[in-house]
Structure formats: C-alpha cells, structure tokens
Amino acid sequence: MKRKGMGIIVVVLLLFVLIGCQNNKDDFESKYNDLRESYTSLQDKQIKASTEITTEATTEATTKVTIETTKETTNSASTPQDSTNLLKIGDELKYDDWQIIVKKIEFHNTLSDSIAKGKYIAAIVTFTNNALGERRVGSHFIVKDELGRTFKMDTSASLDHHFAFDTESWYLADIGSSFSATMAIVFDVPLDAKNIVMYPTDGSVGFLLAKEITVETTVETTIETAASTVLTKKIETRAELQQYLEDNFSSLETSLGTTNFTFYVSENTLTFFSYDYDIWVMYDSGFFGDLQFSINVTSAMSKIVCQEIKDFQENLAHSVISALPDKKIRGGYHYSWYDYPSIREGIHIINYYSWLNYFPTASYSEYENSKITGFNWNDEDDSDLGR
C-alpha cells in the first residue's frame, strides 16, 4: 500500500514537470517569435535606409558626372574661340618634345591628283626634334573651326604637296635628335569654316591658321614671319626693281639676330640669254659662315635660321614675280670674289636658294625658247647652307 502511494506521488510530480516544460516551451517560442519579428523589422529598416542612401548617392554621382561632362563638352566646343590658347604664325609651340613653328599658310583647290572637297589649307611647319632619339612627326594633327567641327590631317594631300612643291621633308620622314625639318600639314576644310585652328590631336594649345576662307583664293596666301610686302604699283624698269628690293628686303630678323643684304640687278638684252632680270641678293658672309661653322650656334638653331633665310628668299621671289608678271626672272643669295681682283682672275662663286620663273632653266638658252612657268627653286649649282 505504501509502495502504491509513492508511485502515485511520482506520477503527479512528472505531470507537473511536463506541464512546466510545456509552459517554458510556449514562453520560449513566444519570445523567439517576438525577437524574429523585431529582427525582421530592423532588417527591413536597414534595407530601406541603405536603398535610400544608395539612391541618393547615385543621384548625386549622376548629377556630378552630368555637370562635369557638360562642362567638359562646353570647354571643348569653345576651345577654338579661346584666345588664350591660340598662337600666331611664327610663334613657337613646345609639345611632346617637339618645337613647332608654323612658317606660313597656303590655300589650294588641288594638289597634284588630289581635289579638295572644300579648300585645302596647308600649314608649312618647321619641327625640331628635342627628344633623345630619331622619330617621325606623323599625322597626329587636327583643325577645329568656331562651330566645333573637327577635321583630320589629309595625309594624301600632304604628300602631294611635298612632291608638287618640293618641300624639305614630309610627315613620315625620320628626324634625328636636335634636327629640324620643314613640311606641309594639309587639311581639307569646308568653305564656310571660320576661325580655323590647328592642334596636335590631344593638345589644348593651337595655331590660328585662318579667320575665314574666301572662294576667290585660288593658289596661295602667304603669311611670313618676316612681314610680306604688298606692292602699290607695278615695276617698269631695272632701277625701280633695284630700289624696291633695297626698300623692302635689305634686312631680315632671324632667330640669331638681324642679317643685312645688298642687291645687284642685271637686265639682259641679248638673245642667247634666257632671262630678263638676274637678281643677286648679296649676303653677309660672316653671318652665313656662322651658320655653318660657329661653335656658338647649335645644329638645331642653324637649321631653323637656314629655313628662315630660305623663306625670306621665297617671299622676295613671289613679290618680284607678281610685280613683273611678264618678265623672266632668276635670283638667289650670291657671294663672289677673285683671287686676283686687279686682273679679274680666279673667280669663286657661292650661291644659296636660287630660283627662277621660266623654263628651260639653262642660262645660255635662246631667249625666245624660254617660257614663263611660275616660281621654282633652281638649286642644282647651289652650295648647302647649314650643317
């Protein structure tokens, strides 16, 4: 009986324990569910906050990019009109270890077999290689107009110009370290283009090549570093030609300073000479000698000044030819002396950058057989100036 009573007590106790455990389980599940709901709510808030921040940051970044892009585009479009980034003909641009000087500008409708869609604008440029090794100029140039239109360098027309006008070099020629070369960089631009500026492809400073293009421009417009002279009257006599040269071409400002010239003009009256006038531009032999031999003049500077002297002679030639359109003329830099002046024996002659405007080129040729052709270099008997 006592054992049976103890069993009943144990059963009762177990029931209480099970009931307590069930209650604890219910409490635990209730608390767990509460915590899970709180966590889910907190997570939802974090996700919402994160989304709002991301959206705000994205909007801000997009706005910033849009503003910067708009600003960059505006600046790019206005670059041709930014006068602070424009250089004049004759100014110097240093870019990528090149020294770049635009010497003159030409306009052409055709160049050899190439025909311009609008007008060819040719920049005659002297490049000096300041890098350590030999390299090429290449075709990395563009022009922009005031409307922001961009036109790439016309490589075919540039090469045609080289062959047509016998320029010193071309854009794929190798240029040694410290050496210079002059070449044509040609662009085909529309006739309505204005404020045309030439830049290196990724450059921000450029040369103003022309403010506009006129349809009437058919052959060449030259802008020299030494001011070009515009004739106000036609030359009629040898004396007038001599005076014109003395008044307008007696000196040249070069990168090494001023050099002076005197002139001797001879007029032919004989049938066995092919020309009407022969112009000797007599130079300072000391100045020219320094370009060749002075240790105080670098090879690079010598080349630059030689090109300036050549350009000056070409400018002189075009001016004289335009003043005497119906005359056969030849000229160039001239220096001569005799070993025995008293008896005029042992003559020495040194010529540079000789030119003429007729053909055949031989001096001793029947006058009637020679025909006016326009300016051409005639350097077969010239010496080499420079180094």
CATH of residue 115's domain is: 2.60.40.1240
Region for residue 178 given its phi and psi (left: phi exceeds 0; alpha: psi -120 to 50; beta: otherwise): left
Same domain, 165 and 188: yes
Which residues on adjacent β-strands are paired with residue 352? 333
Local confidence band at 31 (pLDDT 50, 70, 90 cut-offs): very low
Whether residue 274 contacts residue 366, with contact meaning beta carbons closer than 8 Å, is answered with yes
User: Looking at the structure, do residues 256 and 310 belong to the same domain, yes or no?
Assistant: yes
Coil, strand or helix: which one is 211?
strand
Q: What is the pLDDT of residue 290?
A: 94
The DSSP H or E segment spanning 39 is helix 2-78
Count of Cβ atoms closer than 10 Å to residue 257 Cβ: 9
Q: What is the pLDDT of residue 35?
A: 44
Dihedral, CA of residue 24, residue 26, residue 30 and residue 36, to nearest 10: 90
DSSP conformation class of 273: S
Interval 41-53 mean pLDDT:
46
Q: What are the backbone dihedrals phi and psi of residue 231, each rounded to the nearest 5 degrees, phi first? A: -75, 140
Residue 111's nearest CA partner among 171, 186, 182 is: 186
Same domain? 369 vs 253? yes
Pairing of strands 150-152, 141-144: antiparallel
Least confident of 153-167, 246-260, 289-303: 153-167
The verdict on 306 and 366 lying in the same domain is yes
pLDDT value, residue 308:
93
Q: How confident is the model at residue 81 (pLDDT cuts 50, 70, 90)?
A: low
232 falls within a domain: no
Task: Tell whether the model's pLDDT for residue 25 goes beyond 50.
Answer: no
180 & 132 share domain = yes
Percentage of the chain exceeding pLDDT 90 = 49
Q: Residue 116: inside a domain, yes or no? A: yes
pLDDT for position 386:
81
Phi and psi for 365 in degrees, rounded to 5?
-145, 145
Confidence class for position 263, pLDDT limits 50, 70, 90: very high
Cα separation, 184 vs 208, whole angstroms: 16
Cross-strand partners of 259: 252
Q: How confident is the model at residue 204 (pLDDT cuts 50, 70, 90)?
A: confident
Range of the domain at 191: 83-212
Q: Give the residue-averaged pLDDT of 89-112.
A: 89
Q: Is residue 301 part of a domain?
A: yes
Residue 38, in any domain of the structure: yes
Is 229's pLDDT higher than 80? Answer: no
Integer-rounded Cα Rg, in Å, for the chain is 41
Check residue 226 and give its pLDDT.
35
Give the residue from 29, 60, 80 where a domain finishes.
80
Residue 13 inside a domain? The answer is yes
Distance CA 367, CA 363 (A): 9
Average pLDDT value for residue range 221-236: 48
- Give the count of domains, the chain: 3
Q: Is position 382 within any domain?
A: no
Last residue of a domain, one of 212, 247, 271: 212
Reported confidence tier of residue 252, pLDDT bands at 50, 70, 90? very high
Count of CB atoms situated within 10 Å of the CB of 378: 18
Band of the pLDDT at 8, cuts 50, 70, 90?
Answer: low
- On whether both 49 and 93 belong to a single domain, the answer is no
Q: Is the dihedral of CA 284, 290, 291, 293 positive or negative?
A: positive
Contact by Cβ (8 Å): 160, 45: no
As to burial, measured by CB atoms within 10 angstroms (0-12 exposed, 13-18 middle, 19+ buried), residue 363 is middle
Question: If we measure between CA atoms, which residue out of 293, 326, 294, 331 comes closest to residue 312?
Answer: 331
Pick the last residue of a domain from 35, 61, 80.
80
Confidence of residue 361 (pLDDT cuts 50, 70, 90): confident
Q: Are residues 145 and 266 in the same domain?
A: no
Q: What local confidence, expressed as pLDDT, does residue 37 receive?
A: 54
What integer pLDDT is reported at residue 162 of this predicted model?
84
Which H helix or E strand runs over 116? strand 114-129
Question: Are residue 91 and residue 65 in the same domain, yes or no?
Answer: no
On whether both 244 and 359 belong to a single domain, the answer is yes
Q: How far apart are CA 68 and CA 304, in angstroms?
A: 42
Which of 63-77, 160-174, 277-291 is modeled with the greatest confidence?
277-291
Do 269 and 254 fall within a single domain? yes
pLDDT attached to residue 90: 87
3-state per-residue secondary structure call for 291-340: HHHCCCCCHHHHHHHHHHHHHHHHHHHHHHHHHCCCCCEEEEEEEEEEEE
pTM, two decimal places: 0.45
- State whether 164 and 100 are in the same domain: yes
Q: What is the mean pLDDT of the chain?
A: 78
Please indicate, yes or no, if residue 225 is contained in any of the structural domains: no
Contact between 333 and 281 under an 8 Å Cβ cutoff? The reply is yes
Helix (H) or strand (E) holding 44: helix 2-78
Domain membership of residue 222 (yes or no) is no
Residues 265, 348 share a domain: yes
- pLDDT at residue 102, as a whole number: 93
On whether the CB atoms of residues 311 and 103 are closer than 8 A, the answer is yes
